């Protein structure tokens, strides 16, 4: 964008601090320091600098609460609540951030930020310079002129003279007159009692000004005229209080506000300190990776020399460059390797462009490099090695000796990090900005396939990846060891990576015809539901338009008043609102059903058939090992873990996941694993006895909570007990539990109290989890997985309560994740020993799904049950529910 050379931008820092604080919640640094306002403010600052590219800029802050206005009116702003403590902590870091941008941060005791802004803006105007005030404060509309405008970046709206007329009905210089009459509740400016916004505008439009109105108050009929006479002095005082002082004694020169390059080193340090990893990407960090010892390998002699160096090294990093992100389609373009810091080699084999130098044949490279890659004794390091392993597997080549994946190591060290990608890790640990893919291959329509990238650019890019990976492993492995997770990395996560790679490549067979049939059925249901909804509403409208739906429900039909959307521009029609309405209105129930069917259709029955690989006839998901904060696996493209379990629609979709002819699907699902983990970790006597005796734990809980014999417990009581059991694990309070059970908060609290009276061991353990988090900043799982909870020290009560719930939940969910992963390793090792043809094809929460030839049914039933129930030694038995079927639904 062209720099605005004749415009000064004044940013209302105080206004944006509060807006950022309330716009972003539950954000903290790795150390637990609150950062929501700091992050939001920084984003706003970056947006202005990027979008507007000002040549002159300054940020203005309030210096304190006491100003000259308090002397005139002691009650000025007296009704404002104290600044939240977690916001107060962020004020100085915000100012530090502004200074790191090399932007002046102005404040003056005795005056508000508005006064400083007004003074500078009016002097700019007098000097013929334009001024843009970046704010969300309506009071500043009084300084708008031909040369002074306001900009609200959160609403993407500018305000000039015409906009002031639209807002206040008067010219900018008369805005204070409106406020004098109307008052300003936020500043505790009383105005004239009984005169509101509409009346104030009308009177001023009629009389022209406050002075003229007060002078002719007798002409105003009724109570308003009497009030204007009685409160004339108060109105004048209110005008003074609302008037921005444009003569603040502040010394400055416009040249002081000239934009200079930010202090990127200081910004990088602040971004790292507060955990703003994504913002680091926009900085040019100090280079720590020299490319002086990066080189291309183009001859057989050079290749043999490189392989000899790799053989002599304890470990080496490898990174493949390929033609596609899909490992089943990708072809290798080149191999980057590194076995020493700041040194790397790129071996191109598939760059094809006009003028490309002659490269070694891929067959020759694999002949020379292959034995090293296949050698299990030679340790390989990589970033997201699962992909490289899969690409080579598809090429018929098995890489062995896979030792350290830096992505997984980084994930164990900090599972809450927004990205475990190489770029983010290099910024965080190496203070280095990696060459982006777009820089070498372009983007959008101009993007080249990597095979078309010339070697002058491809070489440094590829070598840098290998070098950074090698350097990261030297930094991350000591951290993994220090935190006691070395066994977790090398004995669980790394072996699991290969299992997941095999599962992804094998995929799961999908009955495409059934999916199409289901999709057509859902389509008919949606048409029928739409007709019923239109009938209830009295006419057609776009059901999928939140705006039209909100207007229909809350304005035309007059249903119970709902909540406004975040921007206050329309009615909220989210699931929570519809569920609230569904208690009394049939149309809301129909809308919920419509949305549910619509989501199933678009997400699964329409989308899944398009994801079937023509070459395999199967769907191939990607299992994400380094995403969730608890250690659980997730899946994507497609997400197979969110397919509904209950309901005919969900079961229908699962019927489309089928076994090959002659085989069966085997579903092996851990029974109540999280409650069993709680029993083991807490040693709770009642839980341990119940599980040891093989009792129905939910029926047992219902019997205790409702005070009756187990045989008298109804199915509804058991359902409520199940909610209570899992609510305890999730750290639910009485209010949220009441909502889920459909009872009063008082009843829910009684259930919780009754539960913990009988489960004192569980209560003590859950309390100890919170204490551990408060003392250490983290909790741990059965296998020592460390789950950080920095927000546990927050001064904000809501944030702290959220962190306490996580402190209770993480050790249980994380331990359940450890167990299912350990089970996968045991099952696969046993399957390899037995040399079965069966395959593990899916992992969904606490369930493993296998494709089993009918001849192996009995063997696999015994094998899977034995290995899963023996995954980890617990003080209570692990129980697995196993079922076979021709499809996933039958098996589940």
Predicted pLDDT at 1: 40
CB 450 within 8 A of CB 323: yes
- Tracing tokens 């379990």 back to the chain, one arrives at 645
Q: Does residue 130 lie within any of the structural domains?
A: yes
Query: Strand 847-853's sheet: what is its strand order?
Result: 839-844, 847-853, 663-670, 880-885
Residues 360, 477 within the same domain: yes
Determine phi and psi for 130, rounding to 5 degrees.
Answer: -75, 150
Residues 208, 292 within the same domain: no
d(CA 498, CA 820): 15
First to last CA, the chain: 58
- What six digits make up the tokens of 765? 């353990």
Spatial neighbors of 572 by CB under 8 A, at least 6 apart, are: 546, 550, 562, 563, 564, 565
Predicted pLDDT at 38: 94
* Residue range of the domain that includes 295: 285-483
Q: Does residue 303 lie within any of the structural domains?
A: yes
Opening angle at CA 578, ends 573 and 580, nearest 5: 125
Determine phi and psi for 788, rounding to 5 degrees.
Answer: -75, 140
Residues 253, 322 within the same domain: no
Domain boundary among the residues 438, 458, 483 is at 483
Residues 224, 342 within the same domain: no
The helix (run of H) or strand (run of E) holding residue 322 is strand 315-322
Residues 149, 249 within the same domain: yes
Q: Positive or negative CA dihedral for 557, 563, 568, 570?
A: negative
Identify which of 674, 664, 715, 635 has the alpha carbon closest to the alpha carbon of residue 889: 664
Spatial neighbors of 775 by CB under 8 A, at least 6 apart, are: none
**Other beta carbons less than 10 A from residue 560's beta carbon:** 12
- What six digits make up the tokens of 630? 């608890």
Compute CA distances 60 → 108, 139, 194, whole Å.
9, 15, 35
d(CA 303, CA 335): 11
Compute CA distances 39 → 104, 149, 279, 392, whole Å.
19, 26, 10, 42
**Other beta carbons less than 10 A from residue 614's beta carbon:** 5
CATH of the domain at 382: 3.30.420.10
CB 412 within 8 A of CB 272: no
Q: Does residue 868 lie within any of the structural domains?
A: no
Q: Does residue 350 lie within any of the structural domains?
A: yes
Look at the chain and report how many structural domains it folds into: 2
User: Secondary structure of the chain: what % helix, strand, coil (to 5)?
Assistant: 55, 15, 30
What's 620's DSSP letter?
-
Spatial neighbors of 819 by CB under 8 A, at least 6 apart, are: 670, 673, 677, 782, 871, 872, 878
Residues 311, 177 within the same domain: no
Q: What is the residue-wise DSSP string for 527-563?
A: HHHHHHHHHHHTS---TT-HHHHHIIIIIIS-PSP-P
Pairing mode, strands 778-780 and 618-619? unpaired
Domain boundary among the residues 483, 509, 543 is at 483
CB 35 within 8 A of CB 27: yes
d(CA 450, CA 323): 6
Domain boundary among the residues 456, 483, 510 is at 483
- SS3 letters across 174-200: HHHHHHHHHCEHHHCECCCCCCCHHHH
Residues 226, 314 within the same domain: no
CATH of the domain at 40: 3.40.50.1010
Q: Positive or negative CA dihedral for 686, 692, 693, 696?
A: positive
Spatial neighbors of 206 by CB under 8 A, at least 6 apart, are: none
Q: Does residue 786 lie within any of the structural domains?
A: no
The helix (run of H) or strand (run of E) holding residue 347 is strand 343-348
- What six digits make up the tokens of 214? 């007060």
Task: Spell out the long-range contacts of 295-298 with Cβ–Cβ below 8 A and sequence spacing 24 or more.
Answer: 295/344, 295/345, 295/346, 295/459, 295/463, 296/345, 296/346, 296/347, 296/348, 296/455, 296/459, 297/345, 297/346, 297/347, 297/348, 297/360, 298/348, 298/357, 298/358, 298/359, 298/360
Opening angle at CA 775, ends 771 and 776, nearest 5: 115
Residues 253, 289 within the same domain: no
Q: Does residue 192 lie within any of the structural domains?
A: yes
d(CA 848, CA 850): 7
Q: Does residue 219 lie within any of the structural domains?
A: yes
Residues 251, 329 within the same domain: no
- Tracing tokens 């913990």 back to the chain, one arrives at 756
pLDDT tens-place string over residues 321-363: 999 999 999 999 999 999 999 999 999 999 999 999 999 999 9
Spatial neighbors of 181 by CB under 8 A, at least 6 apart, are: 191, 192, 195, 199, 200, 203, 204, 210, 213, 235, 238
> Strand pairing partners for 624?
634
Residues 409, 339 within the same domain: yes
Mean pLDDT split into 10-residue runs, the chain, 892 residues: 69 90 82 88 91 92 78 75 84 93 90 91 90 90 92 88 88 87 80 84 86 85 84 87 88 87 85 82 66 95 97 97 95 97 97 94 95 96 97 94 97 89 89 89 92 96 97 97 96 97 96 94 93 87 83 75 53 75 79 88 93 93 93 92 80 93 97 94 93 90 83 86 83 81 85 86 93 93 92 81 90 96 98 97 96 97 97 95 95 87
- Tracing tokens 């129980």 back to the chain, one arrives at 879
Residues 28, 72 within the same domain: yes
CB 139 within 8 A of CB 156: no
d(CA 674, CA 729): 8
Residues 237, 323 within the same domain: no
d(CA 486, CA 783): 11
**Other beta carbons less than 10 A from residue 229's beta carbon:** 12
Q: Does residue 886 lie within any of the structural domains?
A: no
């Amino acid at each position: 964008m062209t720099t605005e050379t004749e415009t000064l931008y004044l940013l209302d820092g105080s206004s944006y601090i509060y807006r950022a604080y309330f716009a972003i919640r539950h954000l903290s640094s790795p150390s637990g320091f609150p950062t929501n306002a700091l992050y939001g403010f920084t984003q706003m600052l970056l947006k202005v600098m990027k979008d507007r590219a000002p040549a002159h800029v300054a940020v203005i802050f309030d210096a304190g609460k006491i100003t000259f206005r308090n002397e005139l009116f002691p009650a000025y702003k007296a009704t404002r609540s104290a600044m939240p403590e977690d916001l107060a902590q962020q004020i100085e870091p915000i100012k530090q951030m502004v200074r790191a941008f090399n932007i002046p941060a102005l404040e003056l005791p005795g005056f508000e930020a508005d006064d400083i802004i007004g003074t500078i803006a009016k002097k700019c105007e007098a000097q013929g310079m334009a001024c843009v005030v970046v704010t969300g404060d309506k009071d500043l509309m009084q300084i708008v002129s031909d040369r002074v405008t306001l900009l609200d970046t959160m609403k993407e709206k500018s305000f000039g003279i015409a906009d002031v007329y639209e807002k206040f009905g008067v010219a900018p210089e008369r805005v204070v007159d409106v406020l004098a009459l109307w008052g300003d509740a936020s500043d505790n400016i009383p105005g004239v009692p009984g005169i509101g916004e509409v009346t104030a505008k009308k009177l001023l439009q009629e009389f022209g000004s406050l002075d003229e109105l007060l002078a002719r108050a007798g002409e105003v009929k009724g109570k308003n005229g009497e009030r204007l006479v009685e409160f004339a002095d108060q109105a004048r005082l209110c005008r003074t209080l609302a008037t921005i002082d444009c003569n603040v004694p502040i010394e400055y020169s416009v040249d002081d506000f000239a934009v200079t390059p930010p202090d990127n080193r200081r910004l990088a340090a602040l971004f790292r300190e507060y955990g703003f990893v994504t913002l680091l990407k926009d900085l040019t960090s100090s280079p720590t990776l020299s490319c002086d010892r990066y080189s291309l390998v183009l001859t057989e002699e050079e290749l043999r020399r490189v392989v000899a160096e790799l053989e002599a090294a304890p470990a080496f990093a490898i990174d493949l460059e390929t033609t596609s992100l899909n490992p089943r389609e990708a072809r290798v373009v080149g191999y980057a390797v590194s076995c020493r810091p700041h040194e790397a080699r790129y071996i191109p084999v598939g760059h094809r462009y006009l003028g490309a130098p002659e490269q070694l044949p891929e067959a020759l490279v694999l002949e020379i490099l292959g034995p090293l890659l296949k050698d299990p004794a030679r340790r390989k390091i990589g970033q997201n090695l699962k992909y490289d392993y899969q690409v080579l597997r598809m090429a018929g080549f098995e890489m062995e000796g896979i030792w350290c994946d830096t992505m997984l190591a980084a994930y164990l060290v900090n599972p809450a990090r927004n990205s475990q990608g190489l770029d983010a890790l290099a910024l965080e640990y190496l203070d280095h900005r990696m060459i982006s893919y777009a820089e070498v291959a372009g983007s959008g329509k101009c993007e080249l396939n990597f095979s078309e990238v010339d070697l002058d650019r491809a070489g440094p890019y590829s070598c840098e990846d290998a070098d950074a990976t090698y350097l990261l492993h030297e930094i991350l492995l000591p951290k993994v060891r220090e935190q006691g997770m070395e066994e977790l990395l090398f004995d669980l996560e790394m072996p699991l990576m290969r299992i997941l790679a095999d599962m992804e490549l094998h995929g799961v067979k999908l009955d495409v015809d059934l999916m199409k049939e289901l999709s057509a059925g859902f389509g008919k249901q949606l048409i029928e539901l739409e007709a019923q909804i239109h009938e209830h509403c009295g006419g057609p409208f776009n059901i999928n338009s939140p705006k039209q739906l909100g207007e229909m429900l809350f304005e035309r039909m007059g249903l119970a008043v709902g909540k406004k959307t975040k921007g206050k521009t329309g009615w909220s029609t989210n699931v929570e609102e519809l569920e609230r309405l569904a208690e009394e209105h049939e149309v809301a129930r129909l809308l919920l059903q419509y949305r549910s069917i619509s989501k199933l259709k678009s997400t699964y029955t329409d989308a899944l058939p398009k994801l079937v690989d023509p070459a395999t006839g199967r769907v191939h998901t990607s299992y994400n090992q380094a995403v969730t904060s608890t250690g659980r696996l997730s899946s994507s493209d497609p997400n197979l873990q969110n397919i509904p379990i209950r309901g005919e629609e969900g079961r229908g979709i699962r019927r489309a996941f089928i076994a090959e002819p002659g085989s069966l699907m085997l579903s092996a699902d851990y029974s109540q694993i999280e409650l069993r983990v709680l029993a083991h970790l807490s040693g709770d006597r009642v839980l341990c006895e119940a599980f040891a005796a093989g009792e129905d734990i939910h029926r047992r809980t219902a019997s205790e909570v409702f005070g009756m014999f187990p045989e008298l417990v109804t199915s509804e009581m058991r359902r409520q007990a199940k909610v209570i059991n899992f609510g305890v694990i999730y750290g639910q309070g009485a209010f949220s539990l009441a909502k889920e059970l459909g009872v009063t908060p008082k009843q829910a609290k009684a259930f919780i109290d009754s539960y913990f009276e009988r489960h004192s061991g569980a209560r003590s353990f859950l309390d100890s989890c919170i204490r551990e988090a408060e003392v250490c900043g983290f909790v741990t799982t059965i296998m020592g997985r460390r789950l950080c909870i920095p927000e546990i020290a927050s001064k904000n009560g809501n944030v702290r309560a959220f962190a306490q719930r996580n402190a209770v939940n993480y050790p249980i969910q994380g331990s359940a994740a450890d167990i299912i992963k350990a089970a996968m390793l045991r099952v696969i090792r046993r399957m390899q020993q037995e040399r079965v043809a069966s395959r593990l094809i899916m992992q969904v929460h606490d369930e493993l799904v296998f494709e089993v030839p009918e001849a192996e049914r009995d063997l696999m039933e015994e094998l899977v049950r034995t290995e899963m129930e023996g995954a980890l030694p617990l003080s209570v038995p692990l129980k697995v529910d196993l079922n076979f079927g021709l499809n996933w639904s039958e098996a589940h």
